[in-house]
Amino acid sequence: MTKSENDRNVSQLHQAYQARTVEELSKSYDHWAEEYETHMKNVGYSHPAMVTSMLSRHIPAGAKPILDAGAGTGIMGELLTAMGYNEIIGFDASNNMMAAARAKKVYAALEQMFLGQPLNYPDNHFAAVTAAGVFTQGHAPLSGLDELVRVTRPGGLLVFSLGPVYLGEAFEKKNNALVTAGLWHLIDTSKPYNSTPLADALTCQVFAFQKSLPESGRVFNE
């Protein structure tokens, strides 16, 4: 990769991180969609692989449905399918990104929705929810976790990466609120890692939480 190519990749990343509204974020990714996967490959983008690896530690293949929050061009959908998850629902802010995801034919459904706003899914519906590269600067607010918890079934898992803007006090406060409300508990974390090792140093981490489980009942539908 030449220096000019690297600079272009990094420029697109920074443009997305600087979005201040969902409209700006959607427009940024609509513009980027055609070259997104090439650019992210060039910077060594690791969130989807990290989140999929964490999910597969704790959720058996065949558990369904799985929600891919911030599905983008469908990188997570491809990895989840490869690991044996065969009913994947996704949403994203960008229609152009979802057009690329649809072309991969690994999603049962895709809709335009925005984290931080109400999601068009029923309560207690998903066996697991994933969000790779979503909770980061200029993207989804931590308040978006409330809706992801709501749509996860009791005993189901929420597996997501956190960018450096949220690691530390901001997430500790949100986590404490959800724990105190009896909504989830932590079951696993990754070690800190660089999500774009061939570009900027972005120290991130993956977390796995389980939604509070009732006294009896099944965790997953098989």
d(CA 121, CA 151) in angstroms, rounded, equals 6
pLDDT at 180: 95
d(CA 183, CA 110) in angstroms, rounded, equals 27
pLDDT at 217: 40
Q: Which residue in 72, 137, 133, 143 sits closest to 107, CA to CA?
A: 72
pLDDT at 119: 98
d(CA 211, CA 129) in angstroms, rounded, equals 11
Q: Which residue in 146, 152, 173 sits closest to 55, CA to CA?
A: 152
pLDDT at 138: 66
The model's pTM is 0.87
pLDDT at 50: 97
pLDDT at 15: 59
Q: What is the residue-wise DSSP string for 161-185?
A: EE-TTTTTHHHHHHHHHHHHTTSEE
The tens place of each residue's pLDDT in the chain, 222 residues long, gives 454 444 444 555 555 555 556 666 666 776 777 888 888 888 888 999 999 999 999 999 999 999 999 999 999 999 999 999 999 999 999 999 999 999 999 999 999 999 999 999 999 999 999 999 999 876 789 999 999 999 999 999 999 999 998 999 999 999 999 999 999 999 999 999 999 887 777 899 999 999 998 754 444 443
pLDDT at 64: 97
Domains of the chain: 3-211 (3.40.50.150)
pLDDT at 136: 82
Alpha carbon 128 to chain centroid, angstroms: 11
pLDDT at 149: 98
